[in-house]
Chain A
C-alpha cells in the first residue's frame, strides 16, 4: 500500500504539520541532529537502568528485554481527547452493566440481543459469580481500551481489555523519560500530566472497598512473582500507590478475611488489585495446582469481605466474539448509539461469514476468539500462499474459534531513526478506572508502535515499541 493511503498523525497530505504537532515541530526543527541521535541512544540506557524490562519466557537465564522506546511523542488535541473520553466512558459503563447482567438476570439474552452460547462456551465464564454482586457493583475496575485511527475523525475500538490490562507503567515511565531528556520541550508545549495515575488508581480502588473495611482501606497488589513478564509493572504500581506488593504465599484466610503476613503478624486486606489470572486465584475453587493464589479466597470474596479487582469472571469481555456484539451491548445498557464504533467483524461461526472470510482471506486479519498478544493471528496481506491455505484449513476445522476483520489502514506517526523521521503504524490504549463514584480516564495512554516499516503489528511480543502519549491542554 502506498504511503498516502494512511492517515498521518503529524503531517497533512500537503506535507504541512497538523495543529497538534505544531509546537513539537517548531522545537524539533531547532534541534541539532547529533543531539537527537545522542538522546536516542541515551533513552535505552535510561530504561535499562530503571529496570523497565519484561521477561521473555523460554529464553536463557530468564533474559530481560527492553521494549523499544521512540522519542517522538504521539500527540492528541484536547478536542479529540474530549470526544474519545465520552466514547470510552459510555463503552466502559456498558461493559460493567453487561457483566452484572450476565451474572444475574441475563436480560440481554432474554431480549435476544446476544446469543447464550457465546458465553456458555467461554472458559472465562465463572459459575462462582452467578447471583453475586461485587462490592460497589464494580466488575471492571481497570480497563484498557485499544483504539486505532484511520482518519481525522475516525477512531475505532479494536479490543477491550477488561481482564488485567497491562502497560500503564510504560505510560508513566515514557513520560518520565521524555521529561528527563527534553525538559525544555515541556516548558514550551502544554501537556496534560499523567503522573497522578497511581494516586487515581489508589483512590479508585479504595472507593470499591467492601463494607467491612475500617478506616482507610488496605490495598495490595497481587503478583505471580519476579518471574512474571510484567513484574516490573506490578512492583512499580505498588510502590507508587504506597500499597503492599504481595504474592500468594504471603496470603492466607484468617478469621474470614484475606490477610497478609507482615512483620507484625497477619493483617487483613480490603482490596486486592490482582495481576494473577482467574484460574490461579484460588486452588480450592479453580486450578488445584496453583501456588500463585490463596486457598479459600473465593469464599471470602463471595461473603463480601474482600474486593478483587478486576472481578473474577470479567475475562468474558475480552472475548473477541463478545467484542463483535459490543454495539448491541452499548445500546442495550445505555440506550444510546455507540459513540466509538467497532471495527467491522465477521464471526466465522456464522456460515455466510465463514464463506466470505475464506473467499477473502488474503485481505483480512483473522484472530483467535480467545487469543491475545498478537499470537495465533493471520494477517492476510502479509501471508504467503502456504500460510493462507494452512490457516483456511484451521478455520474450516474450528470456525467458532475465529473472527475476521478488514486489514485496517492504521494511522502512522513518525519515529526517530538515524536517517531522520520515518512513519510507522500505531495504536492507542487509554487506561480507564471505574469506581461507584465515577469513570476516570487519565489523559494519555500507551501508544504502541510497529518499529518495522509497513508493519501493522504493534504488540511488544512481536517486536513493537512504545511512545509517550501527549494530550494537549486547551
Chain B
C-alpha cells in the first residue's frame, strides 16, 4: 500500500475517534448542566470547552459560557479546525484520499454520516436538536467501525485504521482524565470527605463508562476505583490499558506483515514494560498528572514512529 494512503487511513480513523469522543464529552456536559444551578452549569461548560481544547478559540469569540454557545462552538464553528464539522470534513477528505483502499461499505458509512452531519450542522443547533446531533456523531463512529470489522481485509490498511483509532482514543481519554484529575485527587488525601460524586459521574460519562463502571463496582463510586477502571481495566474498551493493548496488537500485525519490526514496535515494547504490573497505588505514588503526561507523550511518539516506519510522508 502507498505510504500516503496508509497516512490517510490512519488519520481518517484518528479524526473519527476524535469526533466521537468530543460528542461523548458534550453529552456528559449537557447532562451535568441539566442537573445543576446556573452558576455551576457555567462552570461545567467552561470545563467542557477546556477539556475539548477549545478555550482560546472560544474565548476569542464569546464573553460568557452558556451551553448553547459552547456546543455550537465545538460542533460547528467554521474557524475552529477542531470543530466537529471540520473534523468530519477531514474524515471525509481522508476517506476520499484512501478511497481505493477502503471497501464501498466503509466509504458509504462515512459518506452517509458526513452528508447527514453536514446537513444537521448547517444551521445553529438549539436545545431540541443537540441530543440528536450528538447521537448522529457517535453513530458515525459505530457505523464506520462496524463496516471496517465486517468488510475489510485483515491487511495493512485494516491495521493502520485500527492503530489510528486506538492512538487517538488513548490520547483523548488521558486528556479528559488529566483535566479532571484535581477532582479525583482530594478524596485520596481526605478519606471520607464528601466529594462531588456528580463530577465523577461526569468523568465516567464523558467516556461512556458510567454504566460499565456501575455494573462492575455495584454502584460503589470512589476516586481510586474510577482511576483504576479508566487506566487499568482491560475489559473496558475505552480504558488506557485496553487502547494500549489494541494498539500493540495492530502494530505487531503490521510488523508480521512486513516481516520486520520498526521503531514503533520498539517504543511500544518500552511502553509495555513501564505499564506492565502497574497497580493503582503506583499511579498515585507517581502522581496521576505526571503519569498521564508521560503516557500521552509516549503515545504520541509511537504515533510519530508509525508514520516513519511505514513511510507516511516522503
The chain A residues found within 8 Å of chain B, CB to CB, are 48-51, 221, 226, 231-232, 235-236, 238-239, 243-247, 249-250, 252, 260-265
- Whether B301 is near chain A, meaning CB under 8 Å from some CB there, is no
Smallest CB separation, A460 vs chain B (Å): 20
- Whether B97 is near chain A, meaning CB under 8 Å from some CB there, is yes
Q: Which chain A positions have C-beta within 8 A of B115?
A: 48-49
- Bound form: Cα–Cα A85–B21 in Å: 57
User: Contact at A226–B96, with CB atoms within 8 Å?
Assistant: yes
A-contact bits for B178-201, CB 8 A (1 contact / 0 none): 000000000000000000000000
- Bound form: Cα–Cα A366–B93 in Å: 40
Considering the complex, which residues of chain B in the window 1-19 have a beta carbon less than 8 Å from any beta carbon of chain A? 1-6
Q: Which chain B positions have C-beta within 8 A of A236?
A: 99
- B100 touches which of A50, A51, A239, A249 (Cβ 8 Å): A239
What are 29 A-B pairs at a CB distance below 8 A?
A48-B115, A49-B108, A49-B112, A49-B115, A50-B107, A50-B111, A51-B107, A51-B108, A51-B111, A221-B100, A226-B96, A226-B97, A232-B99, A236-B99, A239-B100, A244-B2, A244-B5, A247-B4, A250-B2, A261-B2, A262-B2, A262-B311, A263-B1, A263-B2, A263-B3, A263-B258, A263-B310, A264-B258, A265-B311
- Whether B40 is near chain A, meaning CB under 8 Å from some CB there, is no
- Whether B104 is near chain A, meaning CB under 8 Å from some CB there, is yes
Q: Which chain A positions have C-beta within 8 A of B156?
A: 263
In the complex, the chain A residue whose C-beta lies closest to that of B1 is A263
- B4 touches which of A48, A50, A249 (Cβ 8 Å): A249
The chain B residues found within 8 Å of chain A, CB to CB, are 1-6, 93, 96-97, 99-100, 104, 107-108, 111-112, 115, 156, 258, 310-311, 314
User: Contact at B108–A239, with CB atoms within 8 Å?
Assistant: no
- B314 touches which of A238, A243, A246, A249 (Cβ 8 Å): A249
Given A235-B99, A265-B311, 6 more pairs with CB closer than 8 A: A50-B107, A51-B99, A232-B99, A244-B1, A245-B5, A260-B2
- A50 touches which of B5, B96, B108, B314 (Cβ 8 Å): B108
User: Contact at B112–A250, with CB atoms within 8 Å?
Assistant: no
User: Contact at B311–A261, with CB atoms within 8 Å?
Assistant: yes
- Bound form: Cα–Cα A238–B101 in Å: 9
Task: Report how many A-B pairs have Cβ atoms within 8 Å.
Answer: 65
In the complex, the chain B residue whose C-beta lies closest to that of A235 is B99
- Bound form: Cα–Cα A236–B101 in Å: 10
- Bound form: Cα–Cα A250–B8 in Å: 13
User: Contact at A235–B3, with CB atoms within 8 Å?
Assistant: no
- Bound form: Cα–Cα A243–B99 in Å: 12
Q: Which chain A positions have C-beta within 8 A of B314?
A: 249-250, 252, 261
In the complex, the chain A residue whose C-beta lies closest to that of B111 is A51
- Bound form: Cα–Cα A262–B7 in Å: 11
- Bound form: Cα–Cα A102–B112 in Å: 50
Q: A226-B97, A239-B100 are known contacts. Are A246 and B2 too (CB-CB below 8 A)?
A: yes
User: Contact at B3–A49, with CB atoms within 8 Å?
Assistant: no
Smallest CB separation, A42 vs chain B (Å): 14
3 tightest A-B contacts by CB? A235-B99, A263-B310, A238-B100
- Bound form: Cα–Cα A68–B258 in Å: 45
Q: A49-B112, A51-B107, A261-B314 are known contacts. Are A250 and B96 too (CB-CB below 8 A)?
A: no
User: Contact at A250–B93, with CB atoms within 8 Å?
Assistant: no
- Bound form: Cα–Cα A260–B100 in Å: 15
- Bound form: Cα–Cα A119–B144 in Å: 52
- Bound form: Cα–Cα A124–B311 in Å: 36
- Bound form: Cα–Cα A245–B8 in Å: 13
- Bound form: Cα–Cα A245–B104 in Å: 16
User: Contact at A231–B100, with CB atoms within 8 Å?
Assistant: no
Q: Which chain A positions have C-beta within 8 A of B99?
A: 51, 232, 235-236, 239, 245
- Bound form: Cα–Cα A245–B99 in Å: 9
- Bound form: Cα–Cα A231–B2 in Å: 17
User: Contact at A226–B93, with CB atoms within 8 Å?
Assistant: yes
Smallest CB separation, A439 vs chain B (Å): 27
Q: Which chain B positions have C-beta within 8 A of A231?
A: 96
User: Contact at A250–B100, with CB atoms within 8 Å?
Assistant: no
Smallest CB separation, A313 vs chain B (Å): 28
Q: Which chain A positions have C-beta within 8 A of B2?
A: 244-246, 250, 260-263
In the complex, the chain B residue whose C-beta lies closest to that of A225 is B97
- A263 touches which of B97, B111, B311 (Cβ 8 Å): B311
Smallest CB separation, A8 vs chain B (Å): 37
Q: Which chain A positions have C-beta within 8 A of B111?
A: 49-51
Q: Which chain A positions have C-beta within 8 A of B6?
A: 263
User: Contact at A250–B3, with CB atoms within 8 Å?
Assistant: yes
In the complex, the chain B residue whose C-beta lies closest to that of A238 is B100
User: Contact at A250–B97, with CB atoms within 8 Å?
Assistant: no
User: Contact at B100–A235, with CB atoms within 8 Å?
Assistant: yes
In the complex, the chain B residue whose C-beta lies closest to that of A48 is B115
- Bound form: Cα–Cα A250–B108 in Å: 26
Q: Which chain B positions have C-beta within 8 A of A238?
A: 100
Q: A226-B96, A239-B100, A245-B99 are known contacts. Are A261 and B4 too (CB-CB below 8 A)?
A: yes
- Bound form: Cα–Cα A249–B1 in Å: 15
Smallest CB separation, B248 vs chain A (Å): 19
Smallest CB separation, B86 vs chain A (Å): 12
Q: Which chain B positions have C-beta within 8 A of A247?
A: 4
Most B-side CB within 10 Å, residue of A232, A246, A247, A264: A264
Smallest CB separation, B313 vs chain A (Å): 9
